[in-house]
Structure 1
Amino acid sequence: MTIRPYNEKDLPAMIAIWNEVVEEGNAFPQEETLTEESGRDFFASQSLSTVAEENGRILGLYILHPNNVGRCGHIANASYAVSSESRGRHIGEMLVKDCLFQAKKCGFGLLQFNAVVESNVHARHLYQRLGFVQLGTIPRGFRMKDGHFENICPYYHEL
């Protein structure tokens, strides 16, 4: 498997994977799916958009960008998406590890996740195993697809 910056031909698969996670409604805050046009603009606007590719097939991706501006611009934020058919193969772990390396290379000093859903135990265990620190819990910070609210857990990792 190769982890590399995306190119134009990757966009249909990236949009499909991103939209799959959005439609699941239990991890990303976005409610609107990407179109071909909005997806092109979205992935191009990131500091880095990266894909995991195997045998010419895109299995997952991540986006990396500043979490804020100005005096907080040294803090990065990232989102990860793995296609449902590729989950369970540690692709997410490889993406997070690559992201930590790339974020430091881009000049960021910290990587922060603002809204990890508390019930997303696989992601939370991965982040803890990789040295992320949980900052606390925000009660009822995430509205799930079915309308109920769950806690979110912010995390950070020094680079």
Structure 2
Amino acid sequence: MLTSVERLLFVRGVPLFQELRDDFLVRLASVMDELSFPAQHTIFTEGQEGRSLYIVVSGRVRVHLGDRDLAQLDQGTCFGEMSLFDAEPRSASVTTLESCDCLVLTQLQLYDAIDETPGIAVNIIRLLSRRIRELNNKLSVYRAETQDGDLSKAGNLGG
């Protein structure tokens, strides 16, 4: 478990929360729950309803569709943010690769944060845009390599 000071220092370093004032970060960090998961634990499954964003404090997780990996995330990265905004089911599953600690921000906490500090919404938009660009780049490489007929070069779409 993180102390209040450790939690603040950690949250301050998360790209999603950069550019936010310390007084706001103190309040935000204090309302987040901290959850611990064992290795090979499914945090959530594709298709489940979701209303929380997770931030990896320690350990690593894999984002996947079935057994196809889309990404591996480690300390300071977040996941689950899409369902906070569109109220759609989770678009992928997330499973721990090793024991993992996460901070959790609920939809209500996030909306309160956006009301108080709109800059957090801009940071989330940047995060989502970056992830879409990364997936587009992977898809372009995959298409180019499979058009040549050599599927062995295509590798794993998930990185």
TM-score by length of 1: 0.27
Structure with the higher helix share, 1 or 2: 2
- Greater length-normalized contact order (CA 8 Å, ≥ 6 residues apart): 2
- Select the structure of larger CA radius of gyration: 2
